[in-house]
Amino acid sequence: MTCIRYGRKFRLEKVKPSLIDVRTEAEFDAGIPTTLIQGLLIQFLIKYQIQIQREVRIVDYKEIQYILYDELRLMHYPIAVKFIFDDTELEDFKNNVTYHIPVHPITFCQFEIGPRMKGQTILGTKATLGCASAQYVFGWKPLDDAEIKSHLKYTRDMAQAERFLRTKPRLPEGKLRAFIVSPLADSYFAPDVVHFYCDNMQAYHLVVDYMAAMDVHPLRPSLTMSSSACGGSVFSYNEGTLNMLTACSGSYNSGKTERGEINIMIPGEHIEPVTQRLLDRKKLHGSSSITRPGDLFPGADVCKNCPLIVCVKSKDSKNPPNC
């Protein structure tokens, strides 16, 4: 059962008996009603073979962020990316959330500095997005000569630049009203994409858990020129799959990825099963580390052959042993 108000994060997957009555578990199992109305309701459910489950699962993004942040030793908060296509959703957000807006137009990757480094929730609009590449993939500007020429530093000629641009993932042109980026724990809506800035081993663990949780192998991520954070998120949203890619030149120069971070984008509806897969591994092996099961992440950085890679001082210093 799904109960979503404008995509918010309280999804009821199963219905609990206490939502319709206040009986004990024993009374429930015995089919004993406490009131006539409850008795009639239960008879109706039984007659029409409507099964009542005993568990309510609400997607808790605070808990998911805590688990991922702690188990993978993340340096940055996971970013909840929400694309707003409806004015009602936008007004709902504005009326109920304390948020930030940029003073000057900035790039999408600069928007993400706020949530991942400062814990801020930031609202972005066409007027405040100062990156032509992001405007193009968000459907806020058409393909034009200026955009094609801006890609000449990557391509052989204008024709190749135009062809490459036309293959970029895009949101429907002119449909996006706004976007929101926030720490995953503070997401007001169920996120469309969860974006991680992480290192090589953190990325590997996320990808491995994703493949196992979603039963997909191999993964085929998508890397495009000059649109890592923005285009990578749109690809994950459009295709409904994990994306993994490097920083682009703009993200490296202005988006605070000078540590060599890798981008991982996971569709919002997949973040819970991915996290559950991590917890299942931890329960089975004692830790979240894949490299060294049983060790805390990332595991001891020790080669399996290290007992053989040992050098000792030779008695004959003129003829030391090989090592």
3-state helix/strand/coil string of 24-85: CHHHHHHCCCCCHHHHHHHHHHHHCCCCCCCCCCCCCHHHHHHHHHHHCCCCCCCEEEEEEC
Given this model, what pLDDT does residue 37 score?
Answer: 58
What residues are paired with 194 via a beta bridge?
A: 80, 266
Supply φ then ψ for residue 281, to 5 degrees: -65, -40
pTM, rounded to two decimals: 0.77
Average pLDDT across each block of 10 residues of the chain; the chain has 323 residues. List them in order: 38 38 57 59 56 51 96 96 98 98 97 97 98 97 95 96 97 98 97 97 97 97 94 98 94 86 97 96 91 78 70 69 54
Given this model, what pLDDT does residue 110 score?
Answer: 96
Given this model, what pLDDT does residue 315 score?
Answer: 74
Quick check: 151 and 169 in contact, CB under 8 A? no
Contacts of 194 (CB under 8 A, 6+ apart): 78, 79, 80, 81, 184, 265, 266, 267, 268, 271
| Helix ranges, the chain (H) | 25-30, 36-47, 61-71, 87-96, 108-111, 113, 132-137, 145-150, 158-166, 200-214, 228-239, 249-254, 271-285
Check whether the bond before 218 is cis (ω within 30° of 0): yes
Residue 279: half-sphere exposure toward Cβ, Cα within 13 Å: 13
What residues are paired with 181 via a beta bridge?
A: 81, 122
Supply φ then ψ for residue 160, to 5 degrees: -70, -40
Which of 104, 173, 162 is closest to 136 using CA atoms? 173
Consecutive H or E run containing 227: none
Q: How far apart are CA 30 and CA 185, in angstroms?
A: 40
Quick check: 213 and 273 in contact, CB under 8 A? yes
Q: How far apart are CA 268 and CA 14, in angstroms?
A: 19
Quick check: 169 and 234 in contact, CB under 8 A? yes
Structure tokens at 310: 């040992």
Given this model, what pLDDT does residue 283 score?
Answer: 93
Quick check: 65 and 271 in contact, CB under 8 A? no
What is the DSSP code (8-state) at residue 269?
Answer: G
**Rg, C-alpha atoms of the chain:** 25
